[in-house]
Amino acid sequence: MPYTEELKQLIKKVEASRAARVEKKKKGEEVPLLSLRERQERLEKYHPDFREGSRREIRVGPSKGYAISPEIVNLLEAKSRVNPDAIDLTKIDYETDVLVIGGGGAGTSAALMAQEAGVRVLIATKLRHGDANTMMAEGGIQAAGKETKDSPYYHYLDVMGGGHFKNVPELVKTLVTDAPKSLAWLERLGCMLTKFEDGTMKALHGGGTCRKRMFYAADITGAEIMRTLRDEARNRPDIKVLEFMPAVELILNEHGHCAGAVLYNIETEEYFVVKAKSVILATGGSGRLHIRGFMTTNHYGATGDGLVLGYRAGVGVCFLHTVQYHPTGVVFPEQAEGILITEKFRGAGANVLNIDGEQFVNEREPRDVESASFIREATEIGKGVPTPSGKVGIWLDSPIIDILMGEGAVKREFPGKYILLKRFGIDICKEPMLVYPTLHYQNGGLEYNNKCETAIPGLYSSGEVSGGVHGENRLMGNSLLDVCVFGRIAGISAAEYVKGNPKDGKLNLDHVRRYHKELEEAGIVTDRVAPMILPDYSNPEVRKHQLTSHYVGTMR
């Protein structure tokens, strides 16, 4: 729905301050960036990670005692979906060299590289191939791609600063040095990145970058990358894809190596056994857990499945004590709530403003600091913009971009968001957007190294399911980069491992039995099962009427 009369009145205050803000931009005057100390104070006071009850210790498994989001702990302190004794692992339904779990950016990149290395590849994915957070990433992909002004050295510094200097250095180094190569790989695959007429790729700033190195494909960079990778995978018929077949458990062999997975056909409710010489976990993030009750920008399938699978098999987790809230999720209209408004708007010059049309923070702080500043302005300072549904938002002044970059820039650079909000009667070339922090990214995840190896031989991890490269807070444009860089590496590593003829052996699910026992010993009595697979958005009123006492015969 279009802005209400009340909101339209408030927009006048944004318009009133616009001319002066344009002048400041032209003179290069910005709201000063916070010092590292000020950043820390702001996070500790206002970021949701620091709120009471935002962390709880895990009581079982390899990272026992580590305090993270209770929503994730609940998944880890849950039983398997299947009774390990009910599955006959001698009956193999699918056999492959490399099993890739997850059909998003990381999984598909891995599949392409493994296939190129000459091994058999099978992708198993929960929904359709390409249904992933990669598809939804908008703003861009970082790479030090212009040697006259940038280098991996500066990219490294930015990544570390964004992640509070806690990132795993080896992973960061790999990310920033492989970045130009990955971008060139995308160009070679025919990914339509936005360019000047001479072929120079256009680039913008992102929060926390010191050089403009955010390359992009309009405002649907992730979708363009994902559909290109998927099309390429479909051009290679020896990459097999199983859709609507999430993995629910990893399978190990008698030597303790990863040797496959149990898949679940979510349409027929059957379980299948895949035997593989190596397995890549590329299941993505967990926004659909709605941590701290926040709305999310994430895909329907982002339920943290890979964390559960890897953890149960014995891989530790790290950096899950921080969660990324993207500063600018839609808060009005209600129908579009939670939908991501790319950081590229701020990279292109859009100011963020309070109810009086005043600036209160530089629009290009790292995401966690920016989000904390929004929350501060809306709560303690009390200058948020109230919405008709009783929420509160901050203005993101998109029309200023047309003034700074020339008439038509908003429509040209942000066609996806223009059409999305136009459907609701809001013209973002003329009216600002109303936004608020929204759950966006799983900063941490499974422990792995820069070859994507985990603690278990034959098991690789790649993309958002993994932790370490982004430290405690990821910068914009480094997730698309992450899935390309570490997706490719995982594919190469897994194929190499296969070529080294890993020992074959009897398959088992003993780790699941052990895990169940550990839960019992820790006194955890629960009927929760994990992975979650899909979030439950069913209507409680309908639930009340679902009275089947137990399921018999054909009617579920």
Partner 1 sequence: METEDKKREDLVPIFIMGKRYDVPSSLTIQKAMEYAGYQLIRGCGCRGGICGACGTVYRFPGSYKIEVGLACQTMVQPNMYLAQVPFFPATKSVYDIEKAKPTIDTLVKAYPELLRCLQCNTCTKSCPMDIEVMDYIAAGMRGDITKLAELSFDCVMCGLCTSRCPAELCQYNIAILGRRLYAKYVAPKAEHLVSMVKKVEEGKYEKMLRELMETDEETLKKLYTARETEPEQAGEDWIPQDKTYL
Sign for the pseudo-dihedral over CA of 110, 115, 119, 123 = positive
Q: Is 184 in the site for partner 1 (CB under 8 A)?
A: yes
Residues between 308 and 337 that touch partner 1 (CB under 8 A): 334-335
Residue 370 in contact with partner 1, rule: CB under 8 A:
no
Residues 386-415 that bind partner 1 (CB under 8 A): 404, 415
Is the Cβ of residue 522 or residue 533 nearer to partner 1 in the bound state?
533
Q: Assess contact for 551 and 316: CB atoms under 8 A.
A: no
Task: Give me the 135-154 binding string for partner 1, x by CB under 8 A, dash otherwise.
Answer: xx-------xxxxxxxxxxx
- Measured from the CB of residue 391, what is the shortest distance to partner 1 in angstroms? 14
Pairing of strands 445-447, 352-353: unpaired
**Would residue 326 show up in a list of annotated catalytic residues for this protein?**
yes
How many residues in total does the chain contain? 556
Site string (75-94) toward partner 1, x via CB under 8 A: --------------------
Whether the CB-CB separation of 324 and 367 falls below 8 Å is answered with yes
Sign of CA dihedral 425, 430, 436, 442: positive
Instruction: Identify which of residues 268 and 554 has a Cβ nearer to partner 1 in the complex.
Output: 268
Q: Taking CB under 8 A as the rule, does residue 368 contact partner 1?
A: no
Rounded to the nearest whole angstrom, what is the least distance from the CB of residue 38 to partner 1 in the complex?
12
Q: Which stretch binds partner 1 (CB under 8 A): 8-16, 212-220, 252-260, 318-326?
A: 212-220
227 binds partner 1 per the rule CB under 8 A: yes
> Under rule CB under 8 A, which residues in 514-533 are in contact with partner 1?
none
Q: Which of residues 268-307 bind partner 1 (CB under 8 A)?
A: 297, 299-301
C-beta of 504: minimal distance to partner 1 in Å? 33
Convert residues 413-452 into a mask of x (bound to partner 1 by CB under 8 A) and - (unbound): --xx--xx--x-----------------------------
**By CB under 8 A, residue 26 contacts partner 1:** yes
- H helix or E strand, kind and range, residue 9: helix 5-27
Binding positions for partner 1, 151-170, rule CB under 8 A:
151-154, 156-158, 160-161, 165, 169-170
31 is a contact residue toward partner 1 (CB under 8 A): no
From the list 205, 230, 346, 364, the catalytic residue is 346
**492 near 264, Cβ under 8 Å?**
no
**C-beta closer to partner 1: residue 527 or 536:** 536
* Minimum distance from residue 502 beta carbon to partner 1 (Å): 30
Instruction: Tell me which of 127, 262, 394, 410 binds partner 1, using CB under 8 A.
Output: 127
CB of 234 to partner 1, least distance (A): 6
Q: Which of these segments, 61-69, 208-216, 309-317, 406-414, binds partner 1 (CB under 8 A)?
A: 208-216
What is the three-state SS of 42-79?
A: HHHHHCHHHCCCCCEECCCCCCCCCEECHHHHHHHCCE
Q: For 493-522, what is the HEC assignment?
A: HHHHHHHCCCCCCCEECHHHHHHHHHHHHC
Return d(Cα 153, Cα 157) in angstroms, integer.
6
Q: Which of 120, 312, 326, 364 is catalytic?
A: 326
Residue with tokens 């290109």: 228
Is there a contact between 87 and 110 (Cβ–Cβ < 8 Å)? no
User: Quick one: which of 235, 268, 501, 548 contacts partner 1 (CB under 8 A)?
Assistant: 235
Residue with tokens 């979650």: 532
Burial class (CB in 10 A: 0-12, 13-18, 19+), 238: exposed
DSSP notation for 138-188: -S-EE----TTT--HHHHHHHHHHHTTT-S-HHHHHHHHHHHHHHHHHHHH
The pattern of x and - marking residues 495 through 514 that bind partner 1 according to CB under 8 A reads --------------------
